[in-house]
């Protein structure tokens, strides 16, 4: 699998691959992501196969803007306050999903993890893919999430259709995940954004 430099032309090529149902490895602000069209059930099934995951761990969705997130998820006042402060950035919010998103993406859960990454290559690619892209980490289950295109290729190379190299990821750490589906925000995964910062966004 060739690693392509993340030029404008190659990002456009990668978006064409996604639209045809293919899988792409791409850089984000956190770690390298494994992406596909979240509305293409066969492509989503392939993501689970490539990662070696049973269909029990929901796939997060990255978006180019809030309007695109609203196509697949309900954002209440809390979610909006937090997203105003922390997006684009390394914070994933678990919020109620809309029926428009196939259930396979969330493994049947009524919520979906969403975020807007703070990374030019990722945003450009996602925009060209109609604003939404699966954004799970580009690693085999149980292995370390990759911080470079080379690390991602070692793990998944032959099983994906295109790898975009945008250099090492700035944060080299998976995003914080906050569950907003109940009254009190709950941290599901620690990351660059601390729970206290999220609570401050709600208080302000």
Assign residue 163 the CATH number of its domain: 3.90.870.10
- H or E stretch at 16: helix 8-19
Each of the 204 residues of the chain gets a pLDDT tens digit; together they read: 779 999 999 999 999 999 999 999 999 999 999 999 999 999 999 999 999 977 889 999 999 999 999 999 999 999 999 999 999 999 999 999 999 999 999 999 999 999 999 999 999 999 999 999 999 999 999 999 999 999 999 999 899 999 999 999 999 999 999 999 999 999 999 999 999 999 999 998
* 124 touches 11 (CB < 8 A): yes
150-158 contacts, C-beta under 8 A, 24 or more apart: 150/3, 151/32, 152/25, 152/32, 152/34, 153/1, 153/3, 153/25, 156/25, 156/34, 156/50, 157/1, 158/1
Q: Is residue 118 part of a domain?
A: yes
Q: Is residue 129 part of a domain?
A: yes
pLDDT reported for residue 168 = 98
Tally of residues, the chain: 204
Q: How many domains does the chain have?
A: 1
**The tokens of 37 are what?**
């069209």
Q: Is residue 90 part of a domain?
A: yes
Q: Is residue 157 part of a domain?
A: yes
Q: Is residue 203 part of a domain?
A: no
64 half-sphere exposure, CB direction, 13 A CA radius: 14
Q: Is residue 202 part of a domain?
A: no
Q: What is the pTM of this model?
A: 0.97
Q: Is residue 204 part of a domain?
A: no
Which residues contact residue 129 at a Cβ distance below 8 angstroms, ignoring those fewer than 6 apart?
15, 18, 19, 35, 37
* 146 touches 30 (CB < 8 A): no
Distance CA 134, CA 1 (A): 20
Q: Is residue 50 part of a domain?
A: yes
Tell me the sheet residues that pair with 165: 5
Using a 10 angstrom Cβ sphere, with 0-12 exposed, 13-18 middle and 19 or more buried, the burial of residue 124 is: buried
Q: How far is CA 107 from CA 3, 54, 96, in A?
A: 31, 10, 13
What domain range is 154 assigned to?
3-197
152 half-sphere exposure, CB direction, 13 A CA radius: 33
pLDDT reported for residue 56 = 85
Residue with tokens 């599901």: 188
């Amino acid at each position: 699998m060739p690693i392509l430099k993340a030029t404008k032309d190659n990002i456009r090529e990668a978006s064409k691959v996604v639209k045809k149902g293919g899988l792409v490895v791409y850089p984000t602000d956190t770690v390298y992501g494994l992406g596909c069209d979240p509305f293409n059930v066969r492509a989503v099934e392939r993501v689970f196969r490539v990662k070696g995951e049973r269909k029990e761990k929901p796939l997060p969705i990255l978006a180019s803007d809030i309007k695109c997130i609203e196509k697949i998820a309900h954002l209440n006042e809390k979610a909006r306050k937090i997203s105003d402060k922390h997006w684009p950035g390394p914070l994933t919010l678990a919020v109620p999903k809309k029926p428009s998103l196939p259930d396979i993406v969330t493994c049947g859960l009524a919520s979906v993890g969403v975020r807007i990454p703070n990374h030019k290559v990722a945003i450009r690619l996602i925009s060209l893919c109609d604003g939404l892209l699966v954004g799970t980490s580009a690693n085999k289950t149980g292995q370390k999430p990759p911080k470079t295109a080379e690390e991602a290729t070692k793990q998944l190379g032959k099983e994906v259709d295109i790898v975009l190299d945008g250099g090492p990821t700035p944060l080299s750490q998976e995003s914080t995940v906050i569950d907003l589906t109940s009254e009190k925000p709950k941290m599901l995964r620690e990351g660059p954004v601390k729970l206290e910062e999220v609570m401050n966004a709600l208080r302000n």
